[in-house]
Amino acid sequence: MRIKCYKKITGNIECITGLHIGGSADQIDIGGVDLPIIKHPITAEPYIPGSSLKGRMRSQLEKRLGKVDREPCGCGKTDCLVCKVFGAHMNTRHELGGTRLIVRDAHLSEETRSQYSKIVNEKGVSYLDKKVENIIDRKTGTAKHPRSQERVPSGAKFDLELVLQIYYDVDEENELVAFVKTGLKEVENTYLGGYGSRGCGQVKFNDLKLDGIAITL
Ligand SMILES: [Zn+2]
């Protein structure tokens, strides 16, 4: 199998509501929040790991295709777009070739970064949103175990870049591009990151381009 070309999708991811993508539990958080978000180890800026976006696209597409199981699809069949595009889960014997889709980590856009550095420099405060999540005791109606949750505030933008590897003979270029676009649309229709059913993680993909040419989802 030989690679024919790369198709690149670029654009930005805009947070319509606060976004929470959890950081590791051993991350020491100076702000003292219970549920910190993932941040770059050096710059301490929030980012969206490629694996988070890819995972959400995959799981929503699997639901669309009725491939709902405990585990992601690992059938490895040549006609399974999920396995071809996202990789055959835990299957080392398939003959699909390499996972076609590469999702880069999405970092803050230059526009958002300069907005935020102004806030930090002029006001000396964090631009991150802290939301307190309560668990309501249904018998007494009182809140218990309040936990502070860190979020990227709505309005933040991250740079998006996806790369699709197209192979000779076995790949239908338009079909793979359309599948990836559907995956992005599914994320817009649902959410990204944690607490999606409780209002977090609504995102919109803007200024999308395929190899530099404007596209819509
Ligand atoms: Zn499959």
Tell me the CA–centroid distance for residue 79 and ligand 1, in Å.
Answer: 8
Would residue 212 be called left, alpha or beta, if left means φ above 0 and alpha means ψ between -120 and 50 degrees?
A: left
Tell me the CA–centroid distance for residue 105 and ligand 1, in Å.
Answer: 25
Say how many residues make up the chain.
217
Tell me the CA–centroid distance for residue 72 and ligand 1, in Å.
Answer: 8
Round to whole Å and give the CA distance between 73 and 58. Answer: 9
Kindly report the number of other CB atoms within 10 A of residue 203's CB atom. Answer: 27
Tell me the CA–centroid distance for residue 80 and ligand 1, in Å.
Answer: 5
For 191, list phi and psi in degrees, rounded to 5.
-165, 175
Tell me the CA–centroid distance for residue 89 and ligand 1, in Å.
Answer: 8
Residue 150 in tokens: 């860190």
List of E strands, the chain = 3-15, 47-48, 101-103, 106-107, 129-136, 143-151, 157-167, 203-210, 213-214
Tell me the CA–centroid distance for residue 74 and ligand 1, in Å.
Answer: 5
Round to whole Å and give the CA distance between 110 and 116. Answer: 10
- Per the CB < 8 A criterion, the answer to whether 40 and 55 are in contact is no
Tell me the CA–centroid distance for residue 184 and ligand 1, in Å.
Answer: 19
Strand duo 213-214 + 101-103: pairing: unpaired
Tell me the CA–centroid distance for residue 38 and ligand 1, in Å.
Answer: 30
Residue keyed to tokens 């999405």: 106
Tell me the CA–centroid distance for residue 95 and ligand 1, in Å.
Answer: 12
Tell me the CA–centroid distance for residue 104 and ligand 1, in Å.
Answer: 23
Tell me the CA–centroid distance for residue 93 and ligand 1, in Å.
Answer: 13
CA 66 to mean position of chain CA atoms: 21
Instruction: Specify which residues 162 forms β-bridges with.
Output: 9, 103
CA 128 to mean position of chain CA atoms: 18
Q: Whole-model pTM?
A: 0.92
Tell me the CA–centroid distance for residue 61 and ligand 1, in Å.
Answer: 11
For 158, list phi and psi in degrees, rounded to 5.
-125, 145
Segments in the chain below pLDDT 50: none
Tell me the CA–centroid distance for residue 161 and ligand 1, in Å.
Answer: 24
